[in-house]
Amino acid sequence: MLMQDDIRNDINNLEDDILQIEQSIMDFLKPNHDQQLKKALHELRSDLKHLSILANGAPLDKTETRKTMDFLRTHYNHLQELSLPA
């Protein structure tokens, strides 16, 4: 049960980080923020990959797993949209 709680906490922390990174990316879309934008996109990609690995191997119930997978799908789509050249 303790391991399951740790995994839930890790998932929640990653979801929060992803939301914060996406907000940073929106701020970095302004001119002259190319390096920060590249770094934030890399960090977002990395966190999404980590969350995916964690969620796929997590001993969570179906509702939690579905919620996490929906979150991943939504934010992978955001990553694709943000990564497209203007």
Query: Tokens 């920060």 belong to which residue?
Result: 36
Q: Length of the chain, please?
A: 86
Helix/strand/coil (H/E/C) assignment for every residue in 15-44: HHHHHHHHHHHHHHCCCCCHHHHHHHHHHH
Task: Give the pLDDT band (50/70/90) at residue 51.
Answer: very high
What is the rounded CA–CA span in Å between residue 9 and residue 22?
20
Q: Over the stretch 12-50, which tens digit does the pLDDT of each residue have?
A: 999 999 999 999 988 888 788 888 888 999 999 999 999
Q: Which residues contact 76 (CB under 8 A, 6 or more apart)?
A: 48
Q: Taking the model in full, what pTM does it have? A: 0.80
